[in-house]
Structure 1
């Protein structure tokens, strides 16, 4: 394999991870990145002493990160300074006082029992099931490249088929709502559907496994923000001799005699490679970088698919302290189902009031804000619709976007007991679906990718190798296995497995002694 070359499109976490794994397999790798820096959706923005992450902010599935770092000869402990969060997060459910949600089964069960009699024991059983589902997913599904169906015929999977069938057919909300009565408890267990780019009324109840991650496994934060994670992987990539070319906009994947042979750039130059891996938005790759005869997933395919939600991101630098907010804070509306119907239904609209999320990293990390100030990252899930408009700095975004941002800030101020919040804002930026479409070529302006509905999960999700163009591979949020930073790391591993002709459903074997 030594002497072969690979071109990786995109320097987000999937592109960086793919490049590192291929370099270790003997490829000479070049990453071409349209932007001016690495990170992709996991970006960063600095102003007046504030440093904002502009993408992921929850560190979950620590075992996946640890496995990836071990593949590269290091460990999470060597590369990151992870801090466990206590509470895991705070919840403001409309009409109720704040609720601090702890990590750890015992503490979580005690909290549930204090709110609803009998709910503690029910949560224990729920988390037992969630842990089983998570273990099955990691051992049998997430690392399977689906080059065949042997993994699905495995005895361990076959024995679980009756249970799996129920978990795949029943929506998450139905599973939760037949088990728990209190609205706050239901919302705590249903909200993780948003991490999967979906609604609890649309994603399969198999994804109750997410509650194993935050309530049992715990929530952590990498000091320095998620840019610290990206920089750690970038260091490992560069140490392997990978060339990263930023400001390099790919306009086409070069296909010669039916095989991927490199990429063409906007400046007219070409880069040749024995292998091309696109970690750019999958829709953009299929419909803009490949000509019609080479498209595996044409526009007609996408018209029948469901995107994850769009996001209105509001980055706020705030004067003074905000103890009313935890590191992670969730605001849940009473009109819960109507909130999701507004985002995913037809016609769609920005919910008002919205169920939203606030990250206050300055609660844990003094490096993200000047002394005496707080850093807030607000995420309002909205429809995946670029026509909603662009964001901007200091209120300069499109009028509808800025009105929605004003409403979200006012909601936080009212619900969380910070009446002077608006007056204390010293830095403000909004990012909206049109920005995701323009800056990241995101399909329909979604901030996440293909939603994890039943027909867009596991074996039904787009694979990591092109069925039409040999030597063309894919990684990222709209390819196997799915949405989120851990999934992107696994996606990179699936590309490496395909190139090794590894058909197993298990993770790659970590090198001895690492």
Structure 2
């Protein structure tokens, strides 16, 4: 029985811990914060409950596949509800498109907006489904070790889609700017501009329209707790308030961790913490990637988040509501091309208490607001306050209601918090963007090339950003560790 030490308790770490324990290893997870979940932590105040990180439950089949590996189903651990509508997108005051829970209704919504677009959308979604079957049932479950992983007959048929972009494909068929925005929106979960994201990633559109959007009762944190329960059932030990200060290496092998000044020995070390930060826990000679390497990479956005308790029910919004009433392209440029605080930001709002009575006291509403930002921006309280006022003014105007005077409390989370709480490189929220040159085997490796028995998992390695990819990343790295143990 090998002793495996895992740094961090996000989705990828928890998933890996389950697979490694199932294989007979002695597994301990060390989390620096007081509670587990990494970016998917939970915040509670005055009877309100907020998911601090992910709020969208997409690709239910990936969760099902994960639990099936242990003879379980998601409903053994949490209750799911398919949202209808999935979300609403505002383009101005009283100007919105609602995305409902079936393809037929989505086709109808497109047709209403642009004549003939429903036929084009059906064709686009058929292609997206094809890509989904190749990506999610095959390619993303490959460990990013070699370019040959992409050389399958099916993938080769799609090779041209790695050299076109989502933006090109969408704009070649659709002319209505509202429909273009809706079709380009899902790739924001991949952390890159639609104009830089390979067309193959249209499988995200199938995840969105074809599979739908779900809500786990009591929030996404119920999924974290579900995987924690499974891990502990398999024998994993989870410890919080464990700040890892160093990865110890002897004769080119990882031998353990120094945690809160105390050495913990291990046969294998796996980090689900930020990849860049993890390498700073090593002496420089043991690091695979230089500072220059990280500086050249395209990182996914950071975010300014507000968790708000309202003293009334909020009207004219859905559980998930997007505000695209400003220039999408301009905001993208202010994230990726010329990083700055955006002049007029797009933003997203989530009101989980619309669906779930567990989330807020009766007659009140829990609101989560998110503004995507360039990582590494100066983050000071005055700027946070300025942007809260900015989006609340727009929110009130667009949804025709007063809300600011009903705010009981608000808590914010931004670049500095991503750095301090998650050791996140430049305060990024989602990891490395899935651009062409940062896809599959071109991402940082799951296995260290410099230190034996040292491995990595999570959103900076394969497959990439998002909760379903994090679960897959945990499975992939566990497979590599087991292979190493056999050799």
TM range (shorter): over 0.9
Q: Is the 8 A contact 2:162 2:199 kept in 1?
A: yes
Out of 355, 364, 367, the residue aligned to residue 373 of structure 1 is 364
Report the Cα distance in structure 2 between the residues aligned to 1:399 and 1:147, rounded to whole angstroms.
45
Range 233-242 or range 437-446, more displaced: 233-242
Report the Cα distance in structure 2 between the residues aligned to 1:220 and 1:445, rounded to whole angstroms.
28
Out of 403, 408, 413, the residue aligned to residue 391 of structure 2 is 408
Deviation at 1:388, TM superposition (A): 2.5
Deviation at 1:110, TM superposition (A): 1.2
**1:477 counterpart = 2:475:** no
Deviation at 1:333, TM superposition (A): 3.0
**Mapping of residues 409-428 of structure 1, within 5 Å:** 409-418=392-401, 420-428=402-410
Report the Cα distance in structure 1 between the residues aligned to 2:36 and 2:144, rounded to whole angstroms.
30
**Mapping of residues 24-103 of structure 1, within 5 Å:** 24-94=22-92, 97-103=95-101
TM-score by length of 1: 0.92
Deviation at 1:171, TM superposition (A): 2.4
Report the Cα distance in structure 1 between the residues aligned to 2:22 and 2:432, rounded to whole angstroms.
30
Deviation at 1:190, TM superposition (A): 0.6
Structure 1 segments of 4 or more deviating over 6 A?
A: none
Report the Cα distance in structure 2 between the residues aligned to 1:53 and 1:153, rounded to whole angstroms.
39
Report the Cα distance in structure 1 between the residues aligned to 2:154 and 2:198, rounded to whole angstroms.
20
Q: Is the 8 A contact 2:144 2:442 kept in 1?
A: no
TM-score by length of 2: 0.97
Q: What are structure 2's unaligned runs of at least 5 residues?
A: none
Deviation at 1:201, TM superposition (A): 2.1
Report the Cα distance in structure 2 between the residues aligned to 1:263 and 1:241, rounded to whole angstroms.
20
**Matched residue, 1:298:** 290
Deviation at 1:77, TM superposition (A): 2.1
Report the Cα distance in structure 1 between the residues aligned to 2:282 and 2:483, rounded to whole angstroms.
25
Deviation at 1:445, TM superposition (A): 0.6
Report the Cα distance in structure 1 between the residues aligned to 2:179 and 2:64, rounded to whole angstroms.
31
Report the Cα distance in structure 2 between the residues aligned to 1:147 and 1:173, rounded to whole angstroms.
29
**1:205 counterpart = 2:199:** yes
**Matched residue, 2:414:** 432
Q: Is the 8 A contact 1:103 1:214 kept in 2?
A: no
**Mapping of residues 129-148 of structure 1, within 5 Å:** 129-148=127-146
Report the Cα distance in structure 1 between the residues aligned to 2:405 and 2:93, rounded to whole angstroms.
25
Cα distance change of structure 1 residues 202 and 94 upon mapping to structure 2, 3 Å threshold: farther
Report the Cα distance in structure 1 between the residues aligned to 2:99 and 2:481, rounded to whole angstroms.
43
What are the superposed Cα offsets for residues 104-154 of structure 1, whole Å, 9 maximum, x if unpaired?
Answer: 221111111111011000000000011111111123310101334443333
Cα distance change of structure 1 residues 242 and 438 upon mapping to structure 2, 3 Å threshold: same
**Matched residue, 2:235:** 241
Aligned length: 484
Out of 154, 161, 164, the residue aligned to residue 159 of structure 2 is 164
**1:337 counterpart = 2:329:** yes
RMSD: 1.4
Report the Cα distance in structure 2 between the residues aligned to 1:151 and 1:409, rounded to whole angstroms.
47
Report the Cα distance in structure 2 between the residues aligned to 1:446 and 1:155, rounded to whole angstroms.
36
**Matched residue, 2:267:** 274
Deviation at 1:90, TM superposition (A): 0.5
Deviation at 1:96, TM superposition (A): 5.9
For the residue of structure 2 that corresponds to 1:122, the secondary structure is helix
Q: Is the 8 A contact 1:90 1:330 kept in 2?
A: yes
**Mapping of residues 105-184 of structure 1, within 5 Å:** 105-158=103-156, 160=157, 163-165=158-160, 167-184=161-178
**Matched residue, 2:433:** 451
What are the superposed Cα offsets for residues 274-294 of structure 1, whole Å, 9 maximum, x if unpaired?
Answer: 1100000011012x2111111
Report the Cα distance in structure 2 between the residues aligned to 1:141 and 1:377, rounded to whole angstroms.
34
Q: Is the 8 A contact 1:311 1:433 kept in 2?
A: yes
Q: What are structure 1's unaligned runs of at least 5 residues?
A: 390-397, 503-514
**1:320 counterpart = 2:302:** no
**Matched residue, 1:393:** none
Report the Cα distance in structure 2 between the residues aligned to 1:493 and 1:291, rounded to whole angstroms.
28
Q: Is the 8 A contact 1:29 1:242 kept in 2?
A: yes
Q: Is the 8 A contact 2:87 2:322 kept in 1?
A: yes
Q: Is the 8 A contact 1:284 1:443 kept in 2?
A: yes
**Matched residue, 1:264:** 258
Q: Is the 8 A contact 2:40 2:220 kept in 1?
A: yes
**Matched residue, 1:222:** 216
Deviation at 1:386, TM superposition (A): 4.5
Deviation at 1:355, TM superposition (A): 1.1
